[in-house]
């Protein structure tokens, strides 16, 4: 028989997916040729993975390989000056660009059992193929984002500051839609 009037209302809608704005961190864009990669890895105290989408972590610092010669370096906010200095000190040995972009992006965390569904409202990637611990640059609607998979049901999005209200608005629309259970 037809069950046309039933659908899955969830008692606690907020529990299905949460959206949080995250506190600022120190962020740098690092560009260096392959030959200089080990030098910069040593200088920054964190290996630089060589496959796009892979991350390495050491002492609270994270290096994400975004492109063949591009890494996103992330650390606690108070480490920004130390990172900049370490880069400057290594410049003569391994020329590179280390540009602070801490303020360029803001971050959101999307978590909960429906987190992947919420991202699938506007992200065309197959999220099943984004491994926990990995990250990638992609798009959310028309906004470029760096999408991190922190856990099976937790993601982080780094969004250029001026695009953040748009991304947030879309996330909230999707959250309400998921809460509606349809």
Task: Give me the residues that bind another protein (CB under 8 A), please.
Answer: 1-2, 4-5, 7, 9, 24, 29, 31-33, 52-53, 66-70, 95-97, 99-105, 117, 120-126, 128-129, 136-139, 141-144, 160-163, 165-166, 169-170, 173-174, 176-177, 179-182
In the complex with another protein, the residue whose CB is nearer, 97 or 132, is 97
**In angstroms, what is the minimal distance from the CB of 68 to another protein?**
5
Instruction: For the CB of residue 73, give the shortest distance to another protein in the complex, in Å.
Output: 12
Helix (H), strand (E), coil (C) string for the chain: CCCCCCCCCCCCHHHCCEEEECCCCEEEEEEECHHHHHHHHHHHCCCCCCCCCCEEEECCEEEEEEECCEEEEEECHHHHHHHHHHHHHHCCCCCEEEEECCCCEEEEEEECCCHHHHHCCCCCCCHHHCCCCCEEEEEECCEEEEEEEEECCEEEEEEEHHHHHHHHHHHHHHHHHHHHCC
Q: Specify the residue, 58 or 129, whose C-beta has the smaller distance to another protein.
A: 129
Report the residue number, 38 or 95, with the smaller CB distance to another protein.
95
Which residue, 38 or 59, is less far from another protein as judged by CB?
38
CB of 168 to another protein, least distance (A): 10
What whole-number distance in Å separates Cα of residue 71 and Cα of residue 62? 10
* Minimum distance of another protein from residue 45's CB (angstroms): 21
**Which residue's CB is nearer to another protein, number 14 or number 59?**
14
């Amino acid at each position: 028989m037809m069950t046309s009037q039933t659908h899955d209302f969830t008692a606690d809608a907020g529990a299905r997916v949460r959206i949080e704005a995250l506190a600022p961190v120190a962020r740098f864009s690092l560009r260096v040729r392959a030959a200089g990669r080990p030098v910069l890895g040593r200088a920054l105290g964190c290996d630089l993975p060589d496959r796009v989408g892979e991350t390495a972590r050491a002492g609270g610092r994270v290096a994400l390989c975004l492109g063949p010669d591009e890494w996103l370096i992330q650390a606690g906010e108070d480490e920004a000056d130390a990172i900049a200095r370490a880069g400057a000190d290594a410049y003569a040995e391994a020329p590179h660009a280390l540009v602070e972009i801490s303020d360029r992006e803001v971050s959101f965390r999307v978590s909960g059992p429906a987190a992947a569904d919420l991202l699938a409202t506007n992200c065309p990637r197959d999220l099943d193929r984004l491994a926990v611990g990995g990250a990638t640059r992609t798009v959310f609607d028309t906004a470029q984002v760096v999408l991190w998979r922190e856990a099976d049901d937790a993601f982080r999005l780094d969004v250029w500051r001026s695009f953040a209200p748009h991304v947030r608005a879309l996330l909230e629309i999707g959250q309400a839609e998921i809460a509606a259970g349809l």
